[in-house]
A = this chain, B = another copy of it.
């Protein structure tokens, strides 16, 4: 394979990018934006080596503990559980939540071997058991797998005497939290049940 063919193959690893898009991207960069190609290469290598998971909430972070977890002015009585760093970022952008987060490693998907263990349920239960936590808000997606994840985690939390709530159904059913508009997210937070 030539360097151009290798580049097209590599770009196909990006989500949502097929042969046509990969080719268009490669040709564009080589013909019009070689500085861009080098900038993207550098940013990818830097992020792949520098971005780690926050020890406390498991979102992306370059420091051992992320900025939010390091912020002592937030409401320690509320812990919001999300599926991905993207969901956490969407909630944070809504500006309607002042507590702390816990980011799962995805959602339950027994068929894909995503067990409660694999998504970090043990760490969540340990985090939720800290005395300051009064309520855990389960903000997993309103998809079948997200609902199942919320159900299983909710049961486990309540069995340990921890209050567990769910975002209200203001969030459109079947959608990924990351793509929901901010107003809907804010509303769903207020109406949590």
Q: Is A47 an interface residue (CB 8 A)?
A: yes
- CA of A48 to CA of B85 in the docked complex: distance in angstroms? 31
Please tell me if the beta carbons of A41 and B39 are within 8 angstroms of each other in the complex. no
A3 touches B36 (CB 8 A): no
**Known: A26-B47, A34-B48, A44-B41. Contact between A62 and B10, CB under 8 A?**
no
Chain A's interface size range is: 35 or more
Q: Distance in Å from the Cβ of A118 to the closest Cβ of chain B?
A: 13
Cβ–Cβ contact A38 & B45, under 8 A: yes
A11, A48, A62: most-surrounded residue (chain B CB, <10 A): A48
Bound Cα distance from A136 to B104, whole angstroms: 61
Residue from B6, B23, B89 within 8 A of A47 (CB atoms): B6
B3 pairs with A50, CB closer than 8 A? yes
Q: Is the CB of A44 within 8 A of B40?
A: yes
Can you list, as one digit per residue, whether each of A29-64 has a CB less than 8 Å from chain B (1) or not (0)?
A: 111011011111111111110110000000010100
Question: How many copies of this chain sit in the oligomeric assembly?
Answer: 2
In the complex, A125 Cα to B37 Cα: how many Å? 32
Contact indicator per residue, chain A 2-28, by CB within 8 Å of chain B (1) or not (0): 111011011101111000110111111
**Do B38 and A44 touch across chains, with their CB atoms under 8 A apart?**
yes
Q: Which of B9, B24, B86, B178 contacts A43 (CB 8 A)?
A: B9
Beyond A10-B36, A10-B39, A38-B44, list 18 extra A-B contacts (CB 8 Å): A3-B46, A3-B47, A3-B50, A4-B47, A7-B47, A13-B29, A14-B25, A14-B36, A14-B40, A15-B24, A16-B24, A26-B47, A27-B60, A30-B51, A31-B84, A34-B48, A40-B40, A41-B41
